[in-house]
Chain A
Amino acid sequence: MAKIVIDGREVEARSDVNLLQACLEAGEDLPYFCWHPELGSVGACRQCAVKQYANAEDTRGRIVMACMTPVTEGAIISVEDPEAKEFRGEVVEWLMTNHPHDCPVCEEGGECHLQDMTVMTGHRERRYRFDKRTHNNQDLGPFVKHEMNRCIACYRCVRFYRDYAGGQDLGVFASHNNVYFGRHESGTLESPFSGNLIEVCPTGVFTDKPFSKMYSRKWDMRGAPSVCSNCATGCNTIINERAGKVRRTLNRYNDEVNRYFLCDRGRFGHGWVNAPTRLRSAGYVINGDMTPVPAQAALDHFGKIAASGRLVGIGSPRASLESNYALRKLVGAGNFSTGMAEPEHSLVKLAVSLLAAGPARIATMHEMEQADGALILGEDVSATSPRMSLALRQIKRTAFNKAADQARVPHWMDASVRTLGQDTISPLFVVSPTVTDLDGFAQDAIRAMPEDAARLGFAIAHRIDASAPDVAGLSEAEAASASRIAEGLLAAEKPLLVSGLQYASAALLQATANIASALAARGKTPLISFVLPEANSMGLALMGGLSLDEIAAQTADATLIVLENDLSRRLDGAQFEALVGSAASLVVLDHSVTPTAIRSQVTFPSAAYSETDGTLVSAEGRAQRFLQVVYPDAPLQAGWRWIADMAQAAGLSHVQPWARLDDLIAEIAATMPVFARIPEAAPAADYELEGTPLRSQTHRVSGRTAIRANISVRDIPPPSSPDTPLHSTMEGSYSTDMPGTLIPFYQVPGWNSEQSLNRFQQEIGGKMRGGDCGVRLIDAAGGSGTFSSGIPEAFRARAGQVMLLPEARVFGTDEMSMMAQPIADRAAPAVVRVGGTVAEGARVRLSLGGEIFTVDAVSDPSLPEGVATCPPHMVSRSWSVPEWVSLEITAPAERVGTESAV
């Protein structure tokens, strides 16, 4: 820390930051554009000018760019100095010469950093009387709108998109007044992180396209903190609502998890909550048609069904802990399934037990960014946990920082650090059967089939610590790679190991765990992470239950209750029929219509994550609470409430209704030790700050009384819920000290954009003032760990058969996000990639789960002969696990023939 003087006020400042950060942390209103808390400084916009004085005698001082000037002990600066103020006002005036006066029709309006900064500088009168330059806009695809006239050339967009996220197709063109930020031609932005441009751009150049179709001003929307449920990473989000519809998803800062950025699946994958595919009333399904019935009738009907026999329950890794627990309680632990089929069920359990028993700490994403040696073993993280891959890309930057340290350049000096680091090799090793987006960031990207990747992993462990079992029969190249990677990991201070379940290989998980144990045995403190399939996979593994395969033996003549789970994605046609068909009746609780719901006799409409509170456990083992933003119309209610109602209807007294979510959470914590800490995931519903609950609307939300006038002009009480700590209206407290888990929106006086976040942090990029977000439930056992010796045989191609591997995708292979239109629009059609050469336009015929599919084929020279990939769930609804298949390639000529015959 250093003491600096700002306008005569002595403040403590961190010595490794710049004066802009120091001023902001000291609560000063100093405007800026090009500096971004996560992207650092480049000094491009000249907006952050302050006066700096050489010493106490210096009365003249000189203007410096605060963002480019390091904090030094005893520095004397002035923000209020008239000359500095005038300078800042003029910078804005210059920027404004070309900025259109279109705030009223601009979607950034009301949460615009440029508006905030302009007001902050005090500039209000424009002297420029000439034409403004205008640009053509581009169609950037289903996610991001483009309005280039609003650009102020701060360069944040390309610095995020290219430097930070590694995207290639966004560039900056031309010079001076004509500078243009866009693609080389209209077309969909390729990066899966493009949505962050919306928040990164301080103006309305890049805005949210789906939001635009149901636009509302920031101040007019209710906000609630939420947790992304589109993968197991558990990124923190804010969701916005107006008039009962979820309008958009924004990033919510969690210093250890997603920090400043989301992936596009998370940002644009919420639309299914508003979609016509939602279940909005209880129903009977007759001949595949759903007939709405009053909830009470459905419950009575359930009561009758349930009275006639056993209950069997199938939970879900996409449902909350609370609803799963309620179902488990209703049917009894022995009749409860995790909702996962084999091999996923056992693999998730294996992953969790390896994490809990091993010596390595589960890495947070922030720790991943800072790793100085990392191995990704047999998982395409860029598709299975997109945000994690963005964190892993920063490993390269961390390596640059080392070069910067030698040259004594501070880390926030972004352009200099990147220039210094351009020849630095990033200590990242990727081992994967297919090309991954991370390859370009890696020192070594090694192609290996899952078995061979696991073998390599085992060999690496042995080379790190000889007591780990060795692998016989490695090729020379494999042995050399193993030694190189072992050295790379041993050279690191914080080695990181990542694997996952994409290729459904226990050996991959064990090999990764072996490396962790070997590193620990050598005195290192390794970090580990396993990518899991779904938002609550970890929670379900911790809760326990039978696999779908096991529960199938118990469903005969029982009443089968399925909670928020589409079994047709997990079981092939025959298995699905066997399970569902053997049950006396099928009862489905879900928020959306699925093939499983269509097969049921009775359905109950459960609330989506935007309509109720609940807890999810991410792959990091972090229990996190999502809060409701919509107050749904009856009969929609949380799954666990339905389950309590069902118990009552069936006269089952062992499940008594829970009055509030907190009662249920307390019960889970009390009865299941592994969940003992989940109440800490977020404050309870009775949370109060300064004597009142927190509000979820801004203080100037408009149309409160008029918005329902087309239905009724009568005053109605504001909606409320006993489960959520946020008050549904604009009444209540709101402060920068509120818990990070309860933040409904970011706004402080003078700062209406998301940049106001700076004020909610203890220090910029540090912890939230209101405390941590979420609670980690499992952690490494410590100690040295054990070694597994389950080394698989090397992969061998089979004559006449092809090994079909699942090709995970950011857009297309995930269930719920594909029910959101923008994601469906963005998803590319399914193709089978075939190793070796296939003629252009060829198709393949393959049989999966007893069904025949014909799919377009492309050749993928990076795959070995005898191997192909296919996106899971996109061709065959259930297929997702590597499998030997016979694959028949139909020549392009034939294809034309067949099609014209059809």
Chain B
Amino acid sequence: MSTAELTAQDAELPKDLVDTFIDMAAHEHHPRGAAIEALRLVQERFGWINDAHLAHTARILGMSQADLDGIATYFNLLFRKPVGKNVVMLCDSVSCYIMGAEQTRERLCRKLGVKMGETTPDGEFTVLPIVCLGHCDHAPAMLVGKDLFGPVRPEDIDGIIDDIRARKK
């Protein structure tokens, strides 16, 4: 999906999510307790959280947009901008840095033709930095969607990316 398509999504959340959120809110001590999980579910469905979905979620949970957006923007794994189908997160913390994460990053960016933080024009990949993944013993570590890779040497990049591309076909 292109960015334009993504932003043109329905302003309202689909009914099943609305029902889920109402139910979640009812089970919390305070409705706002459901905020993080609700945002996660929005992202799971749409890949990211757009303004309209955020506003609708806030309404359901009885929060102001500012309040809910404060939560959404606090967490670096909740996306408030469109991302590609695969979010590639490369660890930039100390062990991985020592083990050559920078070279891996360069290779990755070259392979995909994007800078850190950008999405490939075909909407397949977004590359982001991330803090320690707890995978230091396999540094440099990289997370693609829910799959953990490591050690990822520059020469491993082509294989990993091509594999993912192939899987999608």
Contacts and interface: CB of A to CB of B under 8 A. Distances in A.
A410 B150 CA distance: 50
A183 interface: yes
A168 B66 contact: yes
A168 B67 contact: yes
Interface string A11-36: 00000000000000000000000000
Interface stretch (B4-12, B69-77, B116-124): B69-77
Nearest to A173: B73
A183 B74 contact: no
Contact of B64 (A168, A172, A173): A168
A174 B66 contact: no
A183 B76 CA distance: 20
B30 A184 contact: no
A183 B69 CA distance: 10
Contacts of B93: none
A422 B65 CA distance: 20
Nearest to B76: A175
Contacts of B74: 173-175
Contact of A173 (B30, B69, B76): B69
Interface string B53-91: 000000000001111011001101000000000000000
Interface in A301-351: none
A171 B30 contact: no
Contact of A174 (B65, B67, B73): B73
B2 to A, nearest CB: 24
Interface string A154-190: 0000000000000011111111000010011000000
B122 to A, nearest CB: 29
User: Chain A: interface residue count, which band?
Assistant: 10 to 19
B91 to A, nearest CB: 17
Contacts of B70: 171-173
Interface of A: 168-175, 180, 183-184, 422
Nearest to B66: A171
21 contacts: A168-B64, A168-B66, A168-B67, A169-B65, A170-B66, A171-B64, A171-B67, A171-B69, A172-B70, A173-B69, A173-B70, A173-B73, A173-B74, A174-B74, A175-B73, A175-B74, A175-B76, A180-B73, A184-B64, A184-B69, A422-B30
A173 B64 CA distance: 13
A169 B64 contact: yes
Contacts of A168: 64, 66-67
Contacts of B69: 171, 173, 184
Contacts, number: 29
Looking at chain B, what size class is its interface with the partner chain? 10 to 19
Q: Which 4 A-B pairs have the closest CB atoms?
A: A171-B66, A168-B64, A184-B65, A173-B73
A170 B64 CA distance: 9
Contacts of B30: 422
Contacts of B66: 168-171, 183-184
A565 to B, nearest CB: 42
B4 to A, nearest CB: 20
Contacts of A183: 66
Contacts of A173: 69-70, 73-74
B12 to A, nearest CB: 18
B64 to A, nearest CB: 4
Contacts of A422: 30
Given A169-B64, A171-B66, A180-B73, 8 more contacts: A168-B67, A169-B66, A171-B64, A173-B69, A173-B74, A174-B73, A183-B66, A184-B69
A168 B65 CA distance: 8
A886 B65 CA distance: 40
Interface string B15-47: 000000000000000100000000000000000
Nearest to B69: A184
Most chain B CB inside 10 Å of its own CB: which residue of A173, A174, A184: A184
A473 to B, nearest CB: 37
Contacts of A175: 73-74, 76
B50 to A, nearest CB: 13
A168 B32 CA distance: 14
A561 B64 CA distance: 53
B32 to A, nearest CB: 10
Contacts of B67: 168, 171
Max chain B Cβ within 10 angstroms of own Cβ: one of A171, A175, A180, A183: A171
A415 to B, nearest CB: 16
A173 B68 CA distance: 9
Contacts of A180: 73
A174 B73 CA distance: 4
Contacts of A169: 64-66
B137 to A, nearest CB: 26
A404 to B, nearest CB: 19
Contacts of B65: 169, 184
Contacts of A174: 73-74
A287 B66 CA distance: 55
Interface string B130-147: 000000000000000000
B18 to A, nearest CB: 21
A422 B28 CA distance: 14
Nearest to A190: B64
Contacts of B73: 173-175, 180
A172 B30 CA distance: 20
A184 B67 CA distance: 8
A179 B73 CA distance: 9
Nearest to A180: B73
Nearest to B29: A423
Nearest to B55: A184
A414 to B, nearest CB: 18
Contacts of A184: 64-66, 69
Interface in B90-143: none
B22 to A, nearest CB: 21
A172 B67 CA distance: 8
A170 B70 CA distance: 10
Most buried by A among B30, B64, B65, B74: B64
A360 B126 CA distance: 68
A531 B134 CA distance: 62
From B66, B70, B73, B74, residue with most partner A Cβ within 10 Å:
B66
Contacts of B76: 175
A898 B70 CA distance: 46
Contacts of B64: 168-169, 171, 184
B6 to A, nearest CB: 19
B71 to A, nearest CB: 9
Contacts of A171: 64, 66-67, 69-70
Nearest to B67: A171
Contacts of A172: 70
A183 B66 CA distance: 6
Nearest to A171: B66
A164 to B, nearest CB: 16
A284 B74 CA distance: 65
A707 B167 CA distance: 77
A778 B66 CA distance: 45
A70 B74 CA distance: 32
Nearest to A174: B73
B83 to A, nearest CB: 17
A186 to B, nearest CB: 12
A822 B66 CA distance: 25
Nearest to A172: B70
Nearest to A423: B29
Nearest to B54: A184
A174 B72 CA distance: 8
A334 B69 CA distance: 64
Nearest to B63: A168
B59 to A, nearest CB: 12
Nearest to A182: B66
